[in-house]
Amino acid sequence: MSEKKKRITIEPITRLEGHGKIEIFLNDEGNVEDAYFQVVELRGFERFCQGRPVEEMTRLTTRLCGVCPWAHHIASSKCLDAVFKVEPPSAAKKLRELGYCAHMVHSHLAHIYALGGAPDFLMGPDAPPAQRNLFGVIGKVGMDVGKVVIKNRYNAQRVQEIIGGKTIHPVTGLPGGLSHPITEEERKEIEQMSGELVEFGKYTLKLVVDDLILKNKDYVDLITGDIYYHKTYYMGLVDKNDKVNFYDGEVKVVDPDGKEYCRFNEDNYLDYIGEHVEPWSYLKFPFLKKIGWKGFVDGKDSGIYRVAPLARLNVADGMATPAAQEAYEKMYEILGGKPAHNTLAMHWARIIENLYASERMVELIKDKEITNKKVRNIPTKTPGEGVGICEAPRGTLMHHYWVDKEGMVERVNLIVATGHNNAGMHMSVKRAAQKLIKNWKVNQGLLNMVEMAFRAYDPCLACATHTLPGHMPMEIIIHAPDGRVVKRLSREIK
Amino acid sequence: MNKDFKPKILVFCCNWCSYAGADLAGVSRLQIKPYFRVIRAMCSARVDPEFILEAIKKGADGILVAACHPGDCHYIGGNYRTRRRMALLRIMLQQFGLDRKRLRLEWISAGEGGRFQEVVNNFIDEITELGPSPFGPTKRGKGKNG
Amino acid sequence: MVPVLSDLQKGERVKMADKLKLAIARGATCSGCDVEIVDINEKILDVIKIADIVYAAVIMDTKLKEVEKWDDGYIDITFHHGAIRDSENEHIAKLFRKKSKILISFGSCSCYGGIPGLANVTNKDEIFKESYMDTPSTVNPDFVVPLPEWKDETGHKLTLPRFYDEVFSLDDIVTVDYYLPGCPPLVTQINQALDAIISGKLPPKGSVLASEKALCDECPREKPKKINIERIYRPHEIELNPDKCLLEQGIICLGPATRAGCDAKCIRANMPCRGCLGATAAAIDQGGSILSAITSILAISDKETQLSEEDIEKLVGQIKDPLGTFYRFSMPKSLLRKVEKEKK
């Protein structure tokens, strides 16, 4: 493009879940002065769930996101266990985790093959847009490989359907367990499919990491280079051995040097996490309260942290299953140790997690208890406040409900996976834009590479934007960082 | 409160009891304020919640459902279902933001012309006091520019 | 001549010019509908033989600027999912209506408002206060709020879509050709719709591509001749018998007021229906319809004449949150549409 446009709008951002746009502003020399990653959607769940019977939350909150409904279903089910102070039978917890791991596989495979991984790396970041998608990928790898990809996604789907009732928007979670057990026939089906998924996980590791990325020097440079790099804190759930677990555990945070900064759980998450607001995005920016909000900057003194695959691997001491552990060690060897700050390595970490999830599925389906008929304990206590935390494919997810004595929802607080990464995504987009766009040189390939900066996070903006601001019925005074008044607005007072 | 407000009231009467009662009130020349219309159904149980919701949407400020006394329903148990229906509908309308008093269920028999007069006048006064329904036709509209 | 899907099962290739142009457009959505379309599995390989997906933000890189340049009717079929919540949603709905020959309202949000439609129970002031002031994790001492227009220190102007006061369905904004409800619609429903489109055997415009019958027809459970229940239970309060009708067990199930077509998946998973396929054609208001049905099955005692108004209130008061339960997916399509406040 030879025209000197000072403002570039990428609308909509693509190959992710959700509505957003990127605004890039160039200065007089044609270099990037500023860039913004704006989330433009919101719906209001925290407000309209008030007044609903709390046991319906497992089915209401799945509609936060159709790409990761299981994450909400699980966090909500755990939250309901807490609300009703009822412990599910051990078989129920295992079944929930099994279904959830199948979902992790489903979600991660979607991102690897259809959203971020293969389209950008297999087709190339500046391939023609019409080819940078799932169909281009299938065209390149061939129909036979394409069918294997599709078959394995079907496997993950089917396991979710057996345990959750539906492939998208599971329904079986109840306080105290699940609405129904699995039969021996279903167990055999799941065992067969889980085995296939482990093989496919290993295949994906070889295809995408070994063959595609590591053998291509340009990609290795891109991943380990400077364009997609931020030194932040990292957060993730770990089990009692400090290994990655998606269903249950403690939340652990490490600092940019990899040292443990803190741990917390359902009882005290509010002491650690605050949410900051900006006028140009509907999505709030979570940060570590005790360090404080210092703006969109890296480093130990900034409260910004990141979540999701790379963060989880950074935080944990390893993976709980063998093939995944081997891949974990290899990744850190190549990246030069822990923690890894390379944003694009999220794709790699995601593939390792996919392998772990499928191996974990095999462990769980072989458990003697998995076909137990008793998968629910009926609550007997008066309901009260409760919190449920799990790891969504895209990061730590927290559901917090307050209810009255009859179990009707009074208040809801949701801190959603992608939300934690909002600051990270914004900073990554801005940095990529500044480093890639110089001297008015802009083309669709470069713009796609700017988009790759957020795509690595596999964002789920529908989840993140559950809240609804509307118009404020009062006067707002906006201050610049130095304290002077930038803008004064007032709206009708009703 | 606007003193010129004239409420729009809809009265559903069942054929066998309350409609006859309304007729009796008319024949006896009992004075009733003119701010209501009557719709006759064979039984109060025929009054579908959807009718009432449609009436509110069209701007009705109050709805009165008049039925046979318990035990006297021409179809044996119709009015028992009506009262369950109206009770739950009243709760739901309250959730919609409407005052509970806007939906009323009364038992009026064929011989109770005086009672019909009393109930309807009383209902009209009550609704006048409450003011126009928040769902009045002037309020409705796409309202996109929030 | 548009090629027929069944012919292609034998592996024929089709010339570019003959290919259908498909688009997937979205409003206020959770994207479950996007995933469901991609999840039609092997069938997607058949679809791409006869169609080009020209716009689908979840998996393709086409930007809105390109869509705006296309001729009217350039797209053969657009599947639109998601409700209309803000000015951007409205813009997308109108844009894709203009550029498409056939516009399908896909999924419950687009057809009825869906779960986002439940936001019609509240209003912009309350919502605002909750999100940006009152939630316990929010740290906002200067009362900053997202604004439709804002300038940073350098003078760069940033915009956000304008928020509407209520949620709308797609057909409130533009004319819709077909409705495919469900949350999300089933793969079998999608495949049937695709087959119908490709073979040209479409029903009249404005049709709902789902069953005309109520879910009870599809439900695999034994149907009792009569239901008389004394008590209503919430799903977590009792053991759920997987063979008996849920209403018979005292569990609220929206089956009688909901279209069939979903294979009764929730019922098979031992959970009650919550009405995502929307009201049957016979009902004009899903909530009113199910309210009537539920109150009809409450048992009539032989002491009816002795029951007071309080007794009846207590009996129906067992049904918690009728508004949010009976209109779970269809609030914007209800006769009253949204909650209003009495003027004091």
Contacts of A344 (CB under 8 A, 6+ apart): A222, A223, A228, A452, A456
Considering only CB atoms, which chain B residues are within 8 Å of A51?
95
- How close A205 comes to chain B (CA, Å)? 50
Tell me the average pLDDT across A145-171. Answer: 92
Chain A adjacent subunits, 3+ CB pairs under 8 A: B, C
Nearest-angstrom CA–CA distance, A120 and A212: 11
**Are residue C223 and residue C296 in the same domain, yes or no?**
yes
Does the beta-carbon distance from A470 to B146 stay under 8 Å? yes
DSSP B68: P
Q: Are strands A233-238 and A250-254 parallel, antiparallel or unpaired?
A: antiparallel
Are the beta carbons of A179 and A172 closer than 8 angstroms? yes
Contacts of A473 (CB under 8 A, 6+ apart): A491, A492, A493, A494, C125, C128
Peptide bond into A12 cis (omega under 30): yes
Q: Are strands A173-174 and A177-178 parallel, antiparallel or unpaired?
A: antiparallel
* CATH code of the domain containing C67: 3.40.50.700
Nearest-angstrom CA–CA distance, A358 and A105: 7
Helices and strands in chain B, H and E counts: 4, 4
Which pLDDT score, from 0 to 100, does residue A486 have? 55
CA C314 to chain centre: 33
DSSP A363: H
Which pLDDT score, from 0 to 100, does residue A257 have? 94
Nearest-angstrom CA–CA distance, C336 and A46: 23
When the candidates are 1.10.20, 3.40.50, 3.30.70, 1.10.3210, the CATH number that belongs to B9-134 is: 3.40.50
Among C90, C307, C339, beta carbon nearest to B97: C339
Q: Assign 3-state DSSP to chain C and report helix, strand, coil percentages, each to 5.
A: 35, 15, 45
Nearest-angstrom CA–CA distance, A312 and A339: 10
CB pairs under 8 A between B and C: 121
**Are residue C233 and residue C280 in the same domain, yes or no?**
yes
Nearest-angstrom CA–CA distance, A161 and A99: 9
What phi and psi values does residue B51 have, to the nearest 5 degrees? -65, -45
% pLDDT > 90, chain B: 89
pLDDT in tens, A225-249: 888 899 999 999 999 999 999 999 9
Q: Which residue of B has its CA nearest to A491?
A: B146
DSSP H helical ranges for chain C: 5-8, 32-38, 42-50, 64-69, 87-99, 108-112, 124-129, 170-173, 187-199, 265-268, 286-296, 309-316, 322-326
Does the beta-carbon distance from A51 to B146 stay under 8 Å? no
Considering only CB atoms, which chain A residues are within 8 Å of C234?
53, 55, 407
Are the beta carbons of C319 and B88 closer than 8 angstroms? yes
Interface check for B88 against chain C (CB to CB < 8 A): the answer is yes
Does the beta-carbon distance from B95 to A470 stay under 8 Å? no
Does the beta-carbon distance from B84 to C312 stay under 8 Å? yes
Does the beta-carbon distance from A471 to B95 stay under 8 Å? no
Does the beta-carbon distance from C300 to B81 stay under 8 Å? yes
Does the beta-carbon distance from C164 to B96 stay under 8 Å? no
State the complex-level ipTM.
Answer: 0.92
Buried b (16+ CB within 10 A) or exposed e, B24-49: bbeeeeeebeebbebeebebbbebbb
% pLDDT > 90, chain A: 56
**Most B CBs within 10 Å, among C300, C331, C340, C344, to test the B interface:** C340
- How close C128 comes to chain B (CA, Å)? 13
Q: Assign 3-class secondary structure to B112-124.
A: CHHHHHHHHHHHH
Among A12, A472, A479, beta carbon nearest to C128: A472
- How close A320 comes to chain C (CA, Å)? 30
A240's tokens:
């009692």
In what helix (H) or strand (E) does residue B106 lie, and over which residues does it extend? Answer: strand B103-107
B66's tokens:
């008049």
Report residue C71's pLDDT band, with 50, 70 and 90 as the boundaries.
very high
Considering only CB atoms, which chain B residues are within 8 Å of A470?
146
- How close C100 comes to chain A (CA, Å)? 19
Which pLDDT score, from 0 to 100, does residue B105 have? 97
**Are residue C195 and residue C322 in the same domain, yes or no?**
no
Kindly write down the DSSP assignment for every residue of B24-49, as one continuous string.
Answer: HHHHTT----S-EEEEEESSGGG--H
**Other Cβ atoms within 10 Å of C244 Cβ, number:** 14
**Other Cβ atoms within 10 Å of A480 Cβ, number:** 11
Residue C142 belongs to some domain of the structure? no
Which pLDDT score, from 0 to 100, does residue C1 have? 43
**Other Cβ atoms within 10 Å of B134 Cβ, number:** 19
Q: Which residue of A has its CA nearest to C138?
A: A275
What is the domain extent for residue C329? 215-333
Rg, C-alpha atoms of chain C = 23
Q: Which residue of C has its CA nearest to B98?
A: C342
Does the beta-carbon distance from C342 to B57 stay under 8 Å? no
Which pLDDT score, from 0 to 100, does residue A491 have? 42
Q: Which residue of A has its CA nearest to C92?
A: A12
Q: Which residue of B has its CA nearest to A470?
A: B146
**Most C CBs within 10 Å, among A61, A168, A422, to test the C interface:** A168
Nearest-angstrom CA–CA distance, B73 and B17: 8
Task: Provide the phi-psi class of B122: left if phi over 0, else alpha when psi is between -120 and 50, else beta.
Answer: alpha
Which pLDDT score, from 0 to 100, does residue A485 have? 57
Tell me the average pLDDT across A66-70. Answer: 92
C262's tokens:
């979903």
Q: Which residue of B has its CA nearest to C86?
A: B144
pLDDT at A492 over 50: no
Q: Which residue of C has its CA nearest to A136?
A: C60
Are the beta carbons of A292 and A281 closer than 8 angstroms? no
pLDDT in tens, C231-277: 999 999 999 999 999 999 999 999 999 999 999 999 999 999 999 99
Which residues partner with C233 through β-bridges? Answer: C251
- How close A165 comes to chain C (CA, Å)? 5
Chain C adjacent subunits, 3+ CB pairs under 8 A: A, B
Nearest-angstrom CA–CA distance, B67 and A222: 78
Q: Looking up tokens 């003697």, which residue turns up?
A: A368
Average pLDDT of the residues of chain A? 88
- Report which of A447, A10, C323 is spatially closest to residue B97, judged by C-alpha positions: C323
**Are residue C219 and residue C309 in the same domain, yes or no?**
yes
Which pLDDT score, from 0 to 100, does residue A469 have? 34
- Report which of C211, C213, C209, C261 is spatially closest to residue C79, judged by C-alpha positions: C209
pLDDT in tens, A49-62: 999 999 999 999 99
**Are residue C35 and residue C174 in the same domain, yes or no?**
yes
Which pLDDT score, from 0 to 100, does residue A266 have? 92
Per-residue pLDDT 10s for chain B (146 aa) are: 567 899 999 999 999 999 999 999 999 999 999 999 999 999 999 999 999 999 999 999 999 999 999 999 999 999 999 999 999 999 999 999 999 999 999 999 999 999 999 999 999 999 999 999 999 765 544 444 33
Interface check for C165 against chain A (CB to CB < 8 A): the answer is yes
Higher pLDDT: C163 or A389? It is A389
- How close A63 comes to chain C (CA, Å)? 6
Considering only CB atoms, which chain C residues are within 8 Å of B70?
304-305, 307
Report residue A162's pLDDT band, with 50, 70 and 90 as the boundaries.
very high
End-to-end CA distance of chain C: 64
pLDDT in tens, C271-327: 999 999 999 988 889 999 999 999 999 999 889 999 999 999 999 999 999 999 999
Does the beta-carbon distance from C300 to B77 stay under 8 Å? yes
Burial class of residue A28 in the structure, from the number of CB atoms within 10 Å of its CB (0-12 exposed, 13-18 middle, 19+ buried): exposed
**Are residue C65 and residue C194 in the same domain, yes or no?**
yes
- How close A330 comes to chain C (CA, Å)? 30
- How close B51 comes to chain C (CA, Å)? 9
Peptide bond into C184 cis (omega under 30): yes
Q: Give the lowest-confidence range in A134-148, A284-298, A431-445, C78-92.
A: A134-148
Report residue A490's pLDDT band, with 50, 70 and 90 as the boundaries.
very low
Helices C286-296/B49-57 angle, 10° precision: 150
**Coil, helix or strand for A9?**
strand
- Domain boundary (C174, C199, C224) is at C199
Rg, C-alpha atoms of chain B = 15
Our count of domains for chain C comes to 2
**Are residue C19 and residue C91 in the same domain, yes or no?**
yes
Report residue A140's pLDDT band, with 50, 70 and 90 as the boundaries.
confident
Report the amino acid identity of residue C333: K
**Are residue C68 and residue C191 in the same domain, yes or no?**
yes
Nearest-angstrom CA–CA distance, C48 and B79: 59
**Are residue C87 and residue C171 in the same domain, yes or no?**
yes
Which pLDDT score, from 0 to 100, does residue A466 have? 67
Report the predicted TM-score, pTM, of the whole model to 2 decimal places.
0.91
**Coil, helix or strand for A18?**
coil
**Are residue C108 and residue C257 in the same domain, yes or no?**
no
What phi and psi values does residue A363 have, to the nearest 5 degrees? -60, -45
C30's tokens:
């959770």
Interface check for C125 against chain B (CB to CB < 8 A): the answer is no
- How close A261 comes to chain C (CA, Å)? 20
Interface check for B76 against chain C (CB to CB < 8 A): the answer is no
**Most C CBs within 10 Å, among B68, B76, B80, B81, to test the C interface:** B80
DSSP C214: B
Q: Looking up tokens 């429903």, which residue turns up?
A: C189
- Give the CB-side neighbour count of residue A114, counting CA atoms within 13 A: 24
Which pLDDT score, from 0 to 100, does residue C17 have? 54
Which pLDDT score, from 0 to 100, does residue B138 have? 54
In what helix (H) or strand (E) does residue C103 lie, and over which residues does it extend? Answer: strand C100-106
User: Strand locations in C124-225, DSSP E?
Assistant: 149-151, 157-159, 163-168, 178-180, 207-208
Does the beta-carbon distance from B97 to C342 stay under 8 Å? yes
**Other Cβ atoms within 10 Å of A400 Cβ, number:** 25
Which pLDDT score, from 0 to 100, does residue A483 have? 55
Considering only CB atoms, which chain B residues are within 8 Å of C305?
70-71
Interface list for C 111-130 with A (CB within 8 A): 114-116, 118-119, 121-128, 130
Interface list for C 163-202 with B (CB within 8 A): 163-166, 168, 172
Q: Looking up tokens 């009249």, which residue turns up?
A: C204
**Other Cβ atoms within 10 Å of A267 Cβ, number:** 9
Q: Give the lowest-confidence range in A41-55, A209-223, A312-326, A380-394.
A: A209-223
Interface list for C 180-209 with A (CB within 8 A): 183-184
Interface check for C151 against chain A (CB to CB < 8 A): the answer is yes
Residue C125 belongs to some domain of the structure? no
- How close B22 comes to chain A (CA, Å)? 41
Task: Provide the phi-psi class of A188: left if phi over 0, else alpha when psi is between -120 and 50, else beta.
Answer: alpha
pLDDT in tens, A424-483: 999 998 999 899 988 888 888 888 888 888 888 888 887 766 643 333 334 444 555 555
Considering only CB atoms, which chain C residues are within 8 Å of B84?
295-296, 298, 312, 315-316
Residue C128 belongs to some domain of the structure? no
**Are residue C13 and residue C56 in the same domain, yes or no?**
yes
Considering only CB atoms, which chain A residues are within 8 Å of B95?
51
Does the beta-carbon distance from B95 to A51 stay under 8 Å? yes
**Are residue C189 and residue C269 in the same domain, yes or no?**
no
Interface check for C8 against chain B (CB to CB < 8 A): the answer is no
Tell me the average pLDDT across C42-46. Answer: 70
Q: Are strands C207-208 and B103-107 parallel, antiparallel or unpaired?
A: unpaired
Are the beta carbons of A11 and C64 closer than 8 angstroms? yes
DSSP A168: S
Which pLDDT score, from 0 to 100, does residue C67 have? 93
Rounded-to-10 torsion of CA A427, A429, A430, A431? 80
Tell me the average pLDDT across A48-77. Answer: 95
